Amino acid sequence: MIRRLSRRFALALIAGAMALSLASEAGAQKVAQGKQVTLRFSWWGGDTRHQKTLEAIDLYMKKNPNVVIEAEYSGFSGYYQKLVTQLAAGQEPDVFQSDQGWTAEFFKRGDVFTDLRQYSKYIDTSKFNKTLVNDYCVIDGQLVVMPLGFNGAVFLYNKTLMKPYLKNGKLDLTWDEFIDIGKKMHAKDPGVYLTSNVTDAYVRFLLKTILEQKTNQIAVKDDYSIGFTKEQLASTFALMQKIFDGGVAQPYAESVIYKDSFLDNPMWREGKIGGVFMFFSTIDRETHGLSFDFDVARLPAFADAKTSGQETGPSLMVAISKNSKNKEEAAKFVGWLLNDPEAAAILGTERGVPANSSSLEVLKKAGKLSPLMAKAVQVSNDTMGFKNGAYEMNQSVHAIFVAKMEEVIFKKSTPEKAAEDLVKELVRRLDEMKGK
């Protein structure tokens, strides 16, 4: 009897231990998994950025099984309009990629950004350049966005094609030399052009650069005033018209159809474009699979220019919606995306060179920062221009410059008339933004 009682007691102990073990496991699993949460994350980019971001998202969800991240991605064209529509309807994603030109506009609405400093437990800013963060990410003491990377403009050129025009192996040009070389190249072979670009990037890389070199100040100031005269803008338009009329640039109507990547342009792939003005973050992507020898140079400049007009700043930003119902989980994800070494290794330079110093070291050690991109970073940093103004990259302001530039290029207006019309429209728009 004693044996039977002992056996029953032993069985009871085993059963109790198993029950406790299962309960403990279930509890631990529940703690590990946490509350089930779904986050929406939206961004724009090319196929490689999509692929790498999805890979990073998969890893995050494996590490955090309580979180489901719904990816919403597209090309750049139409992204801003879609985001604005979502914001108006209160249906924006929890986490979204943004652009520096939208920050002031969105902040003014009052219903877009979560102050990320509320979640400093998860979003560590200590490894980021303080000037970069303060200049571009903080408004009225609120940390409204964080930089996913930093970027700068350079001239990426096909060294194989441009070899006859190099000086001591370099391409270091004034605007007059740039135009002269472009005309010679096109005269020698009408199927060849010195430069091209995608969509309306000519405003950002040529018009803005030329205008700042002429005026030695930004085009639209933070007090809503204009930093140029009608005469200075007219001469800038005239120079751009000269670039297109002289066959220096691929016809605008041909190049503008390529929305997101130079590799979409067969002229670039075939080695018939000398070079392109671009941000250095996309150099590896835009040269991928091409057999030509490439190099980078600073932007052309006037001999008496006091600034390069070259843009350097955050490449892309990330924000958390003020209306998100899962801000804490969103902050955890954003913090991981910005600071985690595994995330850095996956994302590489798809959103610019990491603005986080530790993430940059990850790429350097892994050999993921190509020598060409490393050189471009140095060229850009050596030729920095002014900080972008809070409003000059605003979408509606940008659209005015694009419209008038295109009128000049397509000969629907003279440089003088386009400059006069632009100033009128720009002043009217800035007054609206200021609240007059």
* Same structural domain, 227 and 186: yes
- Arithmetic mean of pLDDT, 390-414: 93
Mean pLDDT of 186-209: 94
Residue that wins the pLDDT comparison between 11 and 207:
207
The answer to whether 356 and 128 are in contact (CB under 8 A) is yes
Asked if 301 and 194 sit in the same domain, the reply is yes
The predicted-structure confidence for 80-113, as pLDDT tens digits, reads as follows: 999 999 999 999 999 999 998 899 889 999 999 9
If asked whether residues 206 and 217 sit together in one domain, one would say yes
pLDDT over 90 at 12, yes or no:
no
- Same domain? For 74 and 157 the reply is no
Q: Are residues 115 and 214 in the same domain?
A: no
In a shared domain, residues 400 and 307: yes
Residue 7 lies in a domain: no
| Bridge pairing between strands 95-98 and 37-44 | parallel
pLDDT at 436: 54
Q: Name the residue type at position 89.
A: A
Mean pLDDT of the chain: 90
**Span 147-157, pLDDT tens digits:** 998 889 999 99
pLDDT of residue 263: 93
Do 141 and 227 lie in one domain? The reply is no
Would residue 367 count as lying in a domain?
no
My answer on whether 309 and 176 are in the same domain is yes
Residue range(s) defining the domain that contains residue 197: 151-313+384-434
Residue range 228-253: mean pLDDT, rounded: 97
Residue 9 is assigned to a structural domain of this protein: no
Same domain for 135 and 174, yes or no, is no
Nearest residue to 317 via CA among 112, 121, 61: 112
Using one digit for the tens of pLDDT, what is the confidence trace for 168-197?
888 999 999 999 999 999 999 999 999 999
pLDDT at 255: 93
Where residue 139 sits, what CATH number does that domain have? Answer: 3.40.190.10
What is the total count of domains within the chain?
A: 2
- Exposed (0-12), middle (13-18) or buried (19+): which is 61, by Cβ within 10 Å? middle
Q: Are residues 169 and 206 in the same domain?
A: yes
**299 lies in a domain?**
yes
Secondary element (H or E) of residue 347: helix 341-347
Q: Coil, strand, or helix at residue 288?
A: coil
| Residue 240 sits in the same domain as residue 389 | yes
pTM over 0.85: no
- Whether the pLDDT of residue 1 is over 60: the answer is no
Domain termination residue (choose one: 339, 374, 396): 339
Distance CA 212, CA 308 (A): 8
Mean per-residue pLDDT, 209-227: 95
The amino acid that residue 253 corresponds to is: A
Q: What is the pLDDT of residue 94?
A: 98
Residues 198, 260: one domain? yes
| 23 found inside a domain | no
In a domain, residue 362? The reply is no
